[in-house]
Structure 1
Amino acid sequence: MKIIVIGATGRVGAQVVTKLASDKENEVFAGARTPENVPNASNVKAFKIDLHDTKDTILSELPDADALIFTAGSGGKDLLQVDLNGAVKVMIEAAKKGIDRFVMLSSRDSLTPDSFSGPNPSPLANYLIAKHFADLWLIKATNFDYTILQPTALTEKPGSGKVTLGSYSSNENSISNVAAVLAAIVQDDSTIGKIIEMSDGDMAVDDALKNLI
């Protein structure tokens, strides 16, 4: 399978690249502003992409592929340009490339407006607003076979390989666990059209996917 990872040098994206590349039948196209920092493997091809660029430039940068995983984020520093507008530009141009499958790394409560509204909004309100409208664009304005993953807070703890999908059983997600779920989702057609809640849990990733309703 030919899979693009956008944000391939980020905390999650780099681990997604590594996990996908462990299956030698995959051809992984790893997109980042600093492609020289992409994890190295024989079936990984790094390419430069800057989400501040114009749509035409992004179109020229995207390789041909079967699927795309969007893991890019600004760390709260450039939410409109990267987390929102950058994601939308990638969606628009990926559709022009004929890519059918789109997996979005989002966040818990991204599609729950009350979490970033009212007198006591989430401290991540601006981030959630950016993710909200990027997610809505994916759902409402595209024809992708999409999946949206909504993890809780990301941590640097070693991944157990055990997760909860479809609900939340903890307030944390190991970055390694999130990467493992993204790598599994993109190759699992049963997740198409689903918005999947995720936290660290007690079920192996493959079993948790099988148990999704």
Structure 2
Amino acid sequence: MKILIVGASGRVGTILTLQLLALGHEITGTSRHNKPLFDHPNYKHLNLDITQQLAQIVAKITDDFDAVYCVAGSGTDEGLLQTDLHGAIKIMTAAESKGIERFIHLSFGFSLEPAKWKEEGLEELTDYGIAKHYADQWLINNTKLNYTLMQPCWLTETPGSGKITVNIQHHRSNSIENVANTLVAVLNNPKTFRKVISMHDGDIPIEEAINSL
């Protein structure tokens, strides 16, 4: 498949890109810089700043992609509105305008359930949750994209176990590697189409957990 990864330079995006390249996919990865992120024959780089105007973003994205991953994140409070909220919505809009149907979005655990943020001790991430909440609402209610909305909570640098739990009731940590591998697993699985999937590290192999949906 020909896949666009918005946010390929991030912690999740880097592992996701390498995993998809290893599977033989053609990847175009984005960052705000011109320097290519990966040296691989199936990798192309796109200098893309999602805080730019929508028309500028649309002009840079071609219409021959089979799928788009949006895994970009600001990593700062100052960038939440421009990147995590408005930037994500602009990528959704651009994908639709180009006729790209498959869209996989990396969000935040319980982003659609604000009442749980206090219950789960996530108050310090309230502003982040708000940005993700409204971007996710837009994806579900204002687009016709064939989406998968992934919702891990805490991301950690621990090695991936290859095992997760989905449709969680309480937050726990997520290995970045497990999250990236789960994003790979949902790409072509129809059980994940137009689904919201919350997750944390667990005891079920990733493929098995996804197939249980």
Q: TM-score, normalised by structure 1?
A: 0.93
**Count of residues paired in the alignment:** 210
Partner of 1:200: 201
The answer (yes or no) to whether the contact 2:7–2:13 under 8 Å persists in 1 is: yes
Assess, with a 3 A threshold, how the Cα gap between structure 1 residues 32 and 121 changes in structure 2: closer, same or farther.
closer
Measure, in 1, the Cα distance between the counterparts of 2:76 and 2:101.
Answer: 29
Measure, in 2, the Cα distance between the counterparts of 1:124 and 1:41.
Answer: 36
The answer (yes or no) to whether the contact 1:74–1:82 under 8 Å persists in 2 is: yes
Partner of 2:182: 181
Partner of 1:95: 96
Kindly report which structure 2 residues correspond to 1:53-92, keeping only aligned pairs within 5 A, or say none: 53-63=52-62, 64-77=64-77, 78-92=79-93
Equivalent pairs: percent with the same residue?
40
Measure, in 2, the Cα distance between the counterparts of 1:9 and 1:121.
Answer: 26
TM-aligned CA deviation for residue 162 of structure 1: 1.1
Assess, with a 3 A threshold, how the Cα gap between structure 1 residues 121 and 27 changes in structure 2: closer, same or farther.
closer
Measure, in 1, the Cα distance between the counterparts of 2:13 and 2:60.
Answer: 18
Partner of 2:28: 29
Q: TM-score, normalised by structure 2?
A: 0.93
Assess, with a 3 A threshold, how the Cα gap between structure 1 residues 117 and 151 changes in structure 2: closer, same or farther.
closer
Measure, in 2, the Cα distance between the counterparts of 1:85 and 1:117.
Answer: 25
The answer (yes or no) to whether the contact 2:48–2:60 under 8 Å persists in 1 is: yes
AA matched with 2:9: T
AA matched with 2:57: I
Measure, in 2, the Cα distance between the counterparts of 1:165 and 1:16.
Answer: 19
Q: Which runs of 5+ in 2 are unaligned?
A: none
Measure, in 1, the Cα distance between the counterparts of 2:141 and 2:73.
Answer: 21
Measure, in 2, the Cα distance between the counterparts of 1:114 and 1:76.
Answer: 23
Partner of 2:51: 52
Residue deviations 1:163-197 (CA, integer Å, cap 9, x gap): 11222576110001000001111221220011001
